[in-house]
Structure 1
Amino acid sequence: MMMNRKLNGAIIPRSTVTEYQKNAFFDLWESYYQNVDRGMFEDDLAEKDWILTLSDESGIIRGFTTMKFYELEIRGKPIRAIFNGSTIIDRDYWGEQELVHTWCRFMAELKRDEPEIALYWYLIVSGFRTYMFLPLYFREFYPNHATATPAFEQEIIDTLAEMKFPEEYRQGIVRVANPRECLDPDLAVPNTHKLRNPHIRFFVERNKEYLRGDEMVCLTEFTIENTKRTANLIAEEILGSLQSEKTMTKEVVAS
């Protein structure tokens, strides 16, 4: 049962994370995942740039996601990408929207800093709930059940995945040699009703070994036009003025 209490989101540089926070992150992670190794968890944390934390009214950490920033060129075109790694929210707070609000605001502000450079969300997915963030908040994302991944986006997926997982990435999936940390099956396996959803069905068919910890590599671009619902409201709020300026400039040039 979800508690009727608000979470407070914050973005903190990884370099400022305290030992207390590390312990809180790991304790929460360990309570939902199997085959967890503290050393691997800390190594993964150490290579990230930021942590998005979710705390309750008492300051207790109830969720987090780790983030790494990439800048690269694909076919001569500069792109920026945010990779989301370890992500978990205390089950009592499932349905709370603060993660979405804080993350979208962070992405919109990054886009505002360099509006002419494409900004992508790059993520690896071992659970259907995480995959569902894509159809809920984005219009175009890859891979999906309805359309083939365009060649340019596939090249971004392959390049980023091979940079981070050179030994494990094959054909869109980060494939683990041995079972590693993965969600408890009671939480990870969709029921019959959920499998009627084409997005969820696509995920479990495409990533057949998700229960072992295999992860599907996904990508979407963060723009006003490509966002939906809460993500679009936040993108409009932060990026709308840039859009207006661009339109006015085009009109002046045209005249």
Structure 2
Amino acid sequence: MYEIYSGYYENISLELFCQDLGEKNGVFLVEDRSTKRVVGFSTMKTLHMKAGNRVVKGVFSGDTILEKEYWGNKALHVAFFFRMIREKLRHPFQPLFWLLISKGYKTYLLMANNFHNYYPSPERHCEKLEGLVDNYCERLFSDYYRAEKKILDFGDGYTHLKSDVAGITDDMRQRNVKINFFEQRNPTWERGTELPCIGEVSYSLILHYPFTLWKKLRRKTSETISAVPANN
């Protein structure tokens, strides 16, 4: 996992990587089906938050990386989706949210392209979701959260994507509203500032997502990797 991570990020160490991993309570390992080699991963942590008079559950996604040759593959999406169903069915009447902080536009698009109700969004503003972002950022990252800008700033020495990974071109800004919006909200992403996001895991999303995924997968002839959750 660290070998993959170190290939795409600057300002990292094995000690810090293991320390962060130890604070999580779950991980998805993505492996090549033919070789069984790990080609990516995503970490996760569950927590509870207050939303008015209700207690809601959040599933926080930490470090997420996939080797470049597998970009566009949906195995990790599918594994995460089934984990969300599992969490929702455990407490069917408790609101459930996906919590995400994004160094780059690809991570932001995982939420923006798949969730109906999410924040921040170029399409509409939701004060309820904005409040939950404040809640989990102040709880998990109180020393680094810049509430006025709605970003996390860990300083100049913080981990960030290497300069040749997931850059944003003028053509991408013009063609994709969501990529342009991400950069507007997190203009210093290249030095490692993170955009905190949240998406609501509703029953309508659970019912609709498989059809959306099926249409995307029809464009491909086969899947070459699979993702396996390694539970706590």
- Asked if TM exceeds 0.5, the reply is yes
Alignment-derived partner of residue 184 in structure 1 = 162
CA contact (8 A) 1:104 1:231 kept: no
Tell me which stretches of 4 or more aligned residues in structure 1 moved more than 3 Å. Answer: 226-234
- Following superposition, the deviation at residue 184 of structure 1 comes to 1.4
Alignment-derived partner of residue 147 in structure 1 = 124
Separation (CA, whole Å) in 1 of partners of 2:132 and 2:211: 22
- Following superposition, the deviation at residue 231 of structure 1 comes to 7.6
Q: What do the CA deviations read for 1:41-82 (whole angstroms, capped 9, x no partner)? A: 111100000001111122211110000000232212010000
Which is greater in Rg? 1
2:94 alignment partner AA: I
Q: What do the CA deviations read for 1:168-194 (whole angstroms, capped 9, x no partner)? A: 001211112223211112223212221
* TM-score, structure 2 normalization: 0.85
Separation (CA, whole Å) in 2 of partners of 1:231 and 1:202: 26
* TM-score, structure 1 normalization: 0.78
Alignment-derived partner of residue 134 in structure 2 = 158
Structure with the bigger percentage of helix = 1
2:78 alignment partner AA: H
Aligned-CA RMSD value:
1.7
Separation (CA, whole Å) in 2 of partners of 1:169 and 1:143: 15
1:220 alignment partner AA: G
Task: Please give the secondary structure, in 2, of the residue aligned with 1:132.
Answer: helix
Q: What do the CA deviations read for 1:126-177 (whole angstroms, capped 9, x no partner)? A: 1001111122211121011122232x22221111011110100012111122
Separation (CA, whole Å) in 2 of partners of 1:233 and 1:187: 26
Alignment-derived partner of residue 132 in structure 1 = 109
Alignment-derived partner of residue 17 in structure 1 = none
Q: Structure 1: where are the runs of 5+ without partners?
A: 1-24, 235-255
**Do the aligned partners of residues 175 and 79 (structure 1) sit closer, same or farther apart at CA in structure 2, a change above 3 Å counting?**
same
1:33 aligned to which of 1, 6, 9: 9
Separation (CA, whole Å) in 1 of partners of 2:202 and 2:177: 25
The answer on 1:167 being equivalent to 2:146 is no
Greater shift, 225-234 or 177-186, is seen at 225-234
How many residues are matched?
209
CA contact (8 A) 1:176 1:213 kept: yes
2:198 aligned to which of 212, 216, 219: 219
Q: Name the % identity.
A: 27
Alignment-derived partner of residue 189 in structure 2 = 210
Q: Structure 2: where are the runs of 5+ without partners?
A: 215-232
CA contact (8 A) 1:131 1:203 kept: yes
1:128 alignment partner AA: Y
Greater relative contact order (CA < 8 Å, ≥ 6 in sequence): 2
